[in-house]
Amino acid sequence: EVQLVESGGDVVKPGGSLRLSCAASGFPFAAAWMSWVRQAPGKGLEWVGRIRNGGTTDYAAFVKGRFTISRDDSKNTIYLQMNSLKIEDTGIYYCKWEHNANYGYDDWGRGTTVTVSS
């Protein structure tokens, strides 16, 4: 059974940093392409970025160097390092396993909540 468990969400002040984790099981993780998607309160879904097998990353334009996605295949885990956080970064952050490099079928975690507030 595929399982994706996000963690690391917290309350942080504007300008602060946070690292989210996504622990995966039930599929060949080292070969997997993984994405982060976020959802602001009461709003829609927004793609943050993805990491390919091997570690190459792609990011949404709004990231602008503030966020970094990495992976540790020995721990079956991906990370989202978020720096210079803004109030508008508040929301639920989901990780998902991209079964296809072109964004076809996917599996999602349950998400972790990030609140940026002074």
Q: Quick one: tokens of 83?
A: 């720096």
Using CB under 8 A, which of 44, 64, 65, 118 touches other proteins? 44
Using CB under 8 A, which of 60, 63, 90, 115 touches other proteins? 60
Listed ranges 15-23, 56-64, 66-74, 79-87: which one lies at the site for other proteins (CB under 8 A): 56-64
Tokens 């595929």 locate to 2
Question: Minimum distance between the CB of residue 118 and other proteins, rounded to whole angstroms?
Answer: 27
108 belongs to the binding site for other proteins (CB under 8 A): yes
Residue 6: CB atoms within 10 A of its CB come to 22
Query: Residues 38, 115: contact at Cβ < 8 Å?
Result: no
Q: Is the alpha carbon torsion for 22, 27, 33, 37 positive or negative?
A: negative
110 belongs to the binding site for other proteins (CB under 8 A): yes
58 belongs to the binding site for other proteins (CB under 8 A): yes
The one-letter amino acid at 99: H
Pairing of strands 11-12, 112-116: parallel
Residue closer to other proteins (CB basis): 102 or 118: 102
The one-letter amino acid at 58: D
91 belongs to the binding site for other proteins (CB under 8 A): no
- The footprint of other proteins (CB under 8 A) covers 35, 37, 44-47, 50, 58, 60-61, 94, 100, 102-106, 108-111
